Every structure is written in structure tokens, then in C-alpha cells.
Amino acid sequence: MSEAVLDIRDLRVSYQDGSTAVDGLSLSVAPGEIVALVGESGSGKSTAALAVLGLLPASAAVSGSVVLTGRDVLDLRGEQLRKLRGPAAGMIFQEPMTALNPLRTIGFQLAEAIRNHDLPRRRHRHYHPRCVELLERVEVPEPAARLKQYPHQLSGGLRQRVMIAIALAAGPKLIIADEPTTALDVTVQQQILDLLRDIRAQEGTATLLITHNMGVVADVADRVLVLRSGRLVEQAPATELFSSPQADYTRELLAAVPQLGSFTHDPAPEEQAKPVLALSEVVVEYGGRRAVDRVSLEVAAGEIVGLVGESGSGKTTLGNCALGLAIPKSGTVEVLGGPLPRGTGRSARAVRRRIGAVFQDPASSLDPRMTVAQTVAEPLVVHTSAGRGERRRRVRELLDAVELPEAMLSRYGHELSGGQRQRVSLARALVLGPDLLIADEPTSALDVSVQASVLEVFRRLHEEFGFGCLFVSHDLAVVDSLCDRVAVLRSGELVEHGPAEVVLRTPQHPYTQALLLSSPVPDPELQRARRVALSTPDPAA
């Protein structure tokens, strides 16, 4: 396509170990078009995106053609590539916290992105008005003040907006968005998607969207290309692909997506089990700011309670209270029938061994110096007197329970996929047979098929061990598929609480209603209707 902003033909990328990451991919993106590239982890999506900007490592063998705004990227080197990046294409990386420089202010990094493509190059202070304009463009509040801040001082949603502003700094013809909404809550995710649509409408910018979230694809994409093991298995307009997928793999991907409202829930037992976690009027403050405001919540033995809300609503803080990692200013935290003990004495250790935790990012919560066997066995070493043989037997049992092969025992965290790391985290959390599990966003960064398998393992382990669980998540469909009750937090306050069937079907609070409308579904027609409903003011409000 001569008019295409991006035209890839027969792209092949392989590495020295003999693996092929991309095998004969062809695609094009026209001006103003949003094309989604989807598939499981390892399907080659991000490799293809890096090839567009000439960012693949020297060890990669690349063939085919990648024509970006009329020039073949594979023929360019050094300064030629640098000049093309920015004006031709801007990149929005998956994790802005690692993509942004923690030692530089937002203003410096924005000015640097402008200066790299501005001749003659001037001092950074001359770019201040343009930096403010860019932050206003991506709807960052108080843009002038934000320029003086560092990335760690911004929320996840604001950091992602800054990444988009940097990508727009040189006026690109194409935006490559690599998982731009991963780990964002549904309302912030909706704002980012609205922003991408707005940029397309006003600037006519083309977008190559790389994502595993099929609800996001249904919301914004014009066309969809499905990759599997580096090969293109299907491509079609979004409406056609979701309504009548042709490839078996595409149907498998769509079937793995949990759909809000499609799950049935068992009625609550007449006699409630004793609580394994009881929070009463809990208040937590940081630097004078109230993160949790008089929250009372219980988790019964064998029950899974979902905790949902936007970023900054206090979900993780409340989970940390249950783990003793956050100390309430007032209120009480009772675990397993008594106050949560502090210190490192025998009684505190006895209680803590009965509490498990699964953290959001297993890549950072697993010790990189420990093998899988050492990681899973660590709680046994700390809390029991079990000998080496007993520990080895128990570790193998748990590895089998989370459906990982024994060959994984000698591997390190960086040698595992995201789904495998999360399974190891589950095994470590359950190796002592806890009565209470705190799970903080355990599936947020996993693609749909891996998420489905991890959730299935989670359900089976819950039936086997019978633990009570506080399940923190921003994915309402996952909460619907898993939880007995749901609690909704907003700005530290509990605004709605009840059986999942009630809260997620007939919510009473306007905030819960907005959360449900903001949660994308894998159906373009339904998603358009939901977007209209979300943008229409409620006359009763």
C-alpha cells in the first residue's frame, strides 16, 4: 500500500540460538487507522514493534522489508534511524515506570524528546511552553507543576500520559503502543483509550496497538491481526473478527476472555464460617493523607472476597494491613480470630505462617538469586523444622499442584514466562497450607490464555486448601468469575459491598456503575453502546 504509513512485508526475525520470533509477517497501517496486533506472550508482537523502529538487538537476524513513511527501516543505520524515529513513529512502552528516567524530571524528559528532533537545538528552558502544551494535550492536570516532578511522584495513569506526550513530541505519523493499558484500573484505562481515539481524530495519527486485552481491542481497533508463534493466523476488521473468527486459535483466545456478567454464583451459606480476616474501622494515613478511611470488612474461612476500585483507592494498602506491612492509625485488624501480632516472636511467627501472599509483579517479588526450588521451599525453611527431604517432597507436590514440570525446579525467575512466575508465586504462598491468602492483582499482566489457566489453577487450589482469600483486582470480569463477595473502594472509603451477583449485576452506587461501564468487553458493538452510556450524563445525578 503506497499510501500506508507503515508497510511490513514478509518480516522474519530469528536469533543465534535458532529460535524464530517473527516468521513471514506482513501488515500495513493507513493514516488514521488503529490496527491491533494480538496474541499470547512470545507470539512475536513486541519483536515486530521493535523492528519497526530498528530497536532489535545485534544478535537478531532480520529479513523482509519494514517501510515507514516511505523508507525501509532495515536499510537505515545510526543517525539515519535516529532522525526517522520521532517524526515518523513514536513509541509508548508497556511499563512507563521503567521506560522513564527516574533521575530526570518530567520536564527534562519531554524537552529532550523535542530537542532531539529540533534544529538548531536550544536549551531546555526554551521548550517549556511546548512541554506544557504537550501535557495539556494528553490531559495531565496542572501541567506546569508536573514538569518539575519525577516519575515516582506520579500515578500509573499520569506516567502513561507522560509517555504518550513524549511519543507525540515530534509529531509522529505513527504511534506504536505496546500494552499501553496493562495494569491500569478500568477507569484510567478508559481515559487512555479515549485519548488514543482523540489523537487519531484530531491529528490523523495511525496507531499500531499491541495488547493481550481483547476488550481494549474491541473498544478501539479498526482491524485486528492475530499472531501465534511468530506467524499471522488471521486478520480481519474488528467487528468481523469478534463476531465470526475463522481460525481455531482466535476462537481459543476469545473463549479464554472472562466476560463480565456471564458467571453464576452459588448462594451464600445460611451459616457463615468464622472470619479469617476482620477489619474494623481501619484508618491508614501517609504524610497526612488518608489512604484508607474507616473501612470495615470481613473474609470468612473458605470465602473469596474481591476488592476493587481505581488506582489510589486504597486496595493494596488494605491488603498490606492484613499482612502487617501497613500499620493503621486507628481501627483494628484481626487475623485468624485474634489481633494481628507484631514483632518477630514465636506467637507472631505462628500466625504469619498461616497467611500467604501473592504479589502483583512476580518478576520483582521473586528473588533473582534463588532457583524455583529454593523460592518455594523458603517458607518451609523459615517457619518449620522440616528436613531437606521433606522440603523437597513438599516443593514437588506444590509444583505439581500449580501444573509446572519438575524440570522447572533448577530454573531462576528470569528464565520463566510471566505465567510460570505467577504459578511459582502461588506455590510459594500455599506451601505452608495457609488459612488466609492475600492476592494483589495476581493476573493483571498476563495474557488472556495464560490468565485463564492461572485462574483455573487458583480455583482448584482453593477447593483443595479451603483458604479464605482477599482478592485485589481492577479486572471486574476476573472478580466476577472468582469471588463470592465484592467490596468497592473509592478514595479510601468503602462505597458498596455485597454478594458478587448483586454488586456486579445491579450496583447501587454511581461509582460502581461507572466502573462496570468502564470495563471493556470483547464485543465492538456492545462496547460502542457502553461508551455512549458512559459519556451521557445521568439526569438524576
Percentages helix, strand, coil for the chain, rounded to the nearest 5? 40, 25, 35
185 or 500, which is more confident? 500
The pLDDT value given to residue 183: 64
Spatial neighbors of 455 by CB under 8 A, at least 6 apart, are 258, 443, 478, 481, 482
Cβ(106)–Cβ(151) under 8 Å? yes
156 or 242, which is more confident? 242
Instruction: Report long-range pairs for 16-22 (Cβ below 8 Å, ≥24 apart).
Output: 16/59, 16/61, 20/230, 21/47, 21/60, 21/230, 22/47, 22/48, 22/51, 22/230
CATH topology of domain 275-354+434-521: Rossmann fold (3.40.50)
| Residue closest to 212 by CA, chosen among 344, 94, 333 | 94
pLDDT band at 345 (very low <50, low <70, confident <90, very high): low
The whole-number average pLDDT for the span 345-362 is: 82
pLDDT band at 2 (very low <50, low <70, confident <90, very high): very low
Number of CB atoms found within 10 A of residue 287's CB: 5
Within the chain, all domains assigned CATH 3.40.50.300 are found at 275-354+434-521
242 or 19, which is more confident? 242
Grid cell listed for 58: 545485534
Model confidence over 40-53: pLDDT tens digits?
A: 877 889 899 999 99
The pLDDT value given to residue 510: 93
Grid cell listed for 525: 458493538
Model confidence over 199-250: pLDDT tens digits?
A: 899 889 999 999 888 888 999 999 999 999 899 999 999 999 999 999 999 9
Label the pairing between strands 485-490 and 304-308: parallel
Percent of the chain with pLDDT over 70: 95
Cβ(492)–Cβ(313) under 8 Å? yes
- In this predicted structure, the answer to whether residue 293 has a pLDDT above a threshold of 80 is yes
The whole-number average pLDDT for the span 271-300 is: 91
pLDDT band at 69 (very low <50, low <70, confident <90, very high): very high
Coil vs helix vs strand at 93: coil
Question: Which residue's C-alpha cell is 483466545?
Answer: 253
The pLDDT value given to residue 360: 74
The pLDDT value given to residue 123: 61
| Residue closest to 445 by CA, chosen among 152, 102, 199, 98 | 98
Model confidence over 98-141: pLDDT tens digits?
A: 789 999 999 999 999 998 887 556 665 688 999 999 999 888 88
The pLDDT value given to residue 41: 77
Percent of the chain with pLDDT over 90: 47
The strand pairing partners of 299, in sequence order, are 277
The pLDDT value given to residue 540: 43
The whole-number average pLDDT for the span 401-413 is: 86
Model confidence over 141-155: pLDDT tens digits?
A: 899 999 999 998 887
